[in-house]
């Protein structure tokens, strides 16, 4: 009889409470905080309440800070942003297909913090003292001094756990500012490279 090694069994950790796969929220958050990412401001314009009534209030600009943003494809040019399911931006981009992204510079930490805070004031007040132009196709705010600005049209929405992955076709891409480095997010804080 040939000499064969004893069978080995995989050691599977016991599942963490609430997660069948064995990873707790804290463990997952701690591991992913070690991945540095860029910081962007995603913006869109809410449609008017009643587009047929010229006296009805116009739509408001909406913005949110995102670190889960990436390039997906060069041909066609596609990007992806991850939105918390049920957030104001998720709900808006479900009905409004046009949106924009401003890649924030290291000097724009205050903008990232302002649009990331919980229990914040209205978006109208958040945009009040930030220099921006309006996108040619989206009419969404494009932050002045950003390292790059893109205008996008939603191509696909993919439910993913407690988030929605929004894949957008890039309609315009400009690099208005070559000054400074990117704003990064690492270990739960905004950082500068270098």
Rg of the chain on CA atoms, in Å: 21
Longest dimension (CA), the chain: 91
Q: In whole angstroms, how far apart are CA 184 and each of 108, 115, 126?
A: 11, 15, 21
Note the pLDDT of residue 189.
Answer: 79
pLDDT digits (tens, 9 = 90+) for 44-65: 998 876 667 776 666 789 999 9
pLDDT bracket for residue 194 (50, 70, 90): low
pTM of the model: 0.82
CB-CB contact of 169 with 77 (8 Å): yes
Q: In whole angstroms, how far apart are CA 180 and each of 16, 112, 172, 183, 193?
A: 43, 16, 22, 9, 10
> Could you give the residue ranges of the DSSP H alpha helices within 41-122?
88-95, 109-116
CB-CB contact of 62 with 43 (8 Å): yes
């Amino acid at each position: 009889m040939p000499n064969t090694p004893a069978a080995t069994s995989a050691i599977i950790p016991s599942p963490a409470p609430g997660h069948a796969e064995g990873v707790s929220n804290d463990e997952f958050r701690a591991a992913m905080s070690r991945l540095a990412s860029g910081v962007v401001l995603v913006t869109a314009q809410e449609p008017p309440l009643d587009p047929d009534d010229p006296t009805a209030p116009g739509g408001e600009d909406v913005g949110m800070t995102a670190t889960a943003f990436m390039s997906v494809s060069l041909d066609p040019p596609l990007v992806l942003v991850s939105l918390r399911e049920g957030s104001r931006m998720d709900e808006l981009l479900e009905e409004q297909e046009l949106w924009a992204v401003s890649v924030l510079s290291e000097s724009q930490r205050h903008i990232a913090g302002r649009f990331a805070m919980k229990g914040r004031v209205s978006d109208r007040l958040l945009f009040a003292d930030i220099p921006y132009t309006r996108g040619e196709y989206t009419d969404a705010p494009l932050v002045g001094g950003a390292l790059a600005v893109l205008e996008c049209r939603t191509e696909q929405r993919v439910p993913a756990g407690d988030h929605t992955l929004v894949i957008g076709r890039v309609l315009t891409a400009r690099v208005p500012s070559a000054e400074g480095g990117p704003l990064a997010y690492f270990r739960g804080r905004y950082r500068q490279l270098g």
